[in-house]
Amino acid sequence: MKVLVVGANGQIGKHLVSFIQESDSLEAKAMIRKEEQASYFENLGAETAVVDLEDDIGTMAKAAEGVDAVVFTAGSGPHTGKDKTIMIDLDGAVKTIEAANAAGVKRYIMISSFDTTRAAIQEANSSFAPYVAAKHYADEWLKDTDLDYTIIHPGLLTNDEGTGQVEAASKVDRNEVPREDVARVIVASLENDETIGKEFQVVTGTAPVKGAVDSL
């Protein structure tokens, strides 16, 4: 299975491309924003596509040609304004969903926020609410398509070394999770068709990643 990793140069994305390239059944195509980022992924043996999430759907659809799955791991980051939150976390995500459709790619995995319910938007503080709202509507857009989607809601992301052990369910207590382990969960989801049509929260835990994903 060839996987287009959107946001490959991000912290989850880099772990994900590395894990995919180590897999016997998966291969990565890294979607990056700048040409100078390509060498890192080429050294891993991964194909690259230079595309900005503010580009048009056609450009993204071309990057998605020939792949079997799209994984959206991109984000505008905590230091950008509301405008970038809308353009990247909402519109960028929606455009990649539409690009997958246009390219005939059925499998799509979305890395969302821990809680994107309407209540979570209302409860978030003024700086975080736009991000939660953006992720909420991107998730809803994806669920309204015919794509074979999985939506992953990670807890508070850390750069700690992954443990390979998580807790995953439709609802879990709020907790931290290493980005490295989120990448492992994505790989396990790609390898398990039973995750199609599901969305779940994931935090650090005591179950091996594969077992936690298989039990969903």
Instruction: Give the catalytic positions in this structure.
Output: 131
Segment (H or E) for 25: none
Q: Describe the strand order of the beta sheet including 27-32 as a list of residue ranges.
A: 47-50, 27-32, 2-6, 69-72, 107-111, 148-154, 198-204, 165-169, 207-208
Residue with tokens 């580009």: 55
Helices (H), 35-190: 38-42, 57-64, 82-84, 91-103, 118-123, 129-143, 179-190
How far apart, in whole angstroms, are the C-alpha atoms of residue 200 and residue 170? 4
Cβ atoms of residues 29 and 4 within 8 Å = yes
Angstrom distance (rounded) from CA 50 to CA 76: 17
Grouping H, G, I as helix, E, B as strand and the rest as coil, residue 164 is coil
Q: Rounded to an integer, what distance in angstroms lies between the CA atom of residue 19 and that of residue 155?
A: 20
